[in-house]
Amino acid sequence: MQIPNLSDFERLPDIEKYREDLNFIRNQDLSQMSVNEISKLISEKAIILPTITSTTEIANLGTSLFYRVRIMKHSNISNEDMTLIQSFSYPPSITCKENGRANLKKTSVFYCASTGDAAMRESDIEIGSQGFLSVWTIDPQTTLKFGILLSDKLPKENPWKPLVDYLSQEEFQKIHLEREGKYYEHMRELRNFFYDLYMHEAKPYPITSFISNSLLYSRNDLDFISYPCVKRSHRQINFAFHPNSVNLHFKIERVFRFEVTAMDVEGISFNVNGVGYLEKSRIQWRNADESDEHYLGKITSV
């Protein structure tokens, strides 16, 4: 599915019928459907994809640090070179053997979050889990384009709520999105529909993986998508970046080798068993020191 044009919007039925069509999708078991079958269903019933996008400098996102987790399994790191940046970045496509919430199998994306707490929880950690928490930056003046898979259902604690509320305003839709203005109610229903899917769809994520792939790969103009953090009850934000955008814009700052010692709804406690930092073109390892507090201090939960 591509960027919708006027003829796509003109195919939209009245709002009550559209709600019925979205509910029809919601009530189907799509777990055994092929990607082509899912594409056909979305095209027939939803008709269009969420189209709220924004182009902005990174400085305007409210975060300058991006957190990514790789859970450590001794079998898959024993022969790896832990001095390579790629060891902590997006995985090779060939190793992506199942759908994720933001990727189709055999397709790679760079998953990360706005806080270390969110990144760790989204990785299904538990007490005793070991892994690597990498911290990345992008030059604040870098301008990127992203897709917003969020809705006005965001709780007030979410730092992105003001932006989403602004973009969702009917006045904004009518003034800035001429094709969508008269279909404001449809777009709101569609955004809420997909938002709920990103919050609740279970593995193998048949719809959300397809939608994410359509936005990041079928289009050629988006650097990343933003969607709600399930494990933080949508009070934080997850991101999925296209690999090319990571290669062009990301810089690794720290890698914390951790072991979780305790966790509850308020936060996560973990031991740091080593810190990786970039020296010239290699990741070097040492014990934690005061210079790391800037990055560890940003690991917060709401």
Same domain, 83 and 136: yes
Spatial CA neighbour of 164 closest among 149, 179, 177, 175 = 149
- Cis status of the peptide bond prior to 162, with omega within 30 of 0: no
Same domain, 182 and 42: yes
- Alpha-carbon distance of 30 to 12, in angstroms, equals 23
Is residue 236 in some structural domain?
A: no
238-270 as b/e: b if 16+ CB within 10 A: bbbbbbebbeebbebbbbbbbebeebeeeebeb
Name the one residue in this structure whose structure tokens are 């009550």.
Answer: 16
pLDDT in tens, 177-209: 555 567 888 888 998 999 999 999 999 999 999
pLDDT in tens, 209-243: 999 999 999 888 899 999 988 887 677 889 999 99
Same domain, 20 and 132: no
Same domain, 156 and 52: yes
Same domain, 128 and 251: yes
- Alpha-carbon distance of 119 to 113, in angstroms, equals 5
Same domain, 154 and 100: no
Instruction: Calculate mean pLDDT across residues 98-112.
Output: 97
- Among the candidates 226, 256, 275, a domain finishes at 226
Structural domain count, the chain: 2
- Alpha-carbon distance of 132 to 165, in angstroms, equals 35
- 209 phi/psi in degrees, rounded to 5: -65, -40
Enclosing domain of residue 116: 58-141+245-301
- Alpha-carbon distance of 283 to 82, in angstroms, equals 7
Same domain, 130 and 13: no
Is residue 232 in some structural domain?
A: no
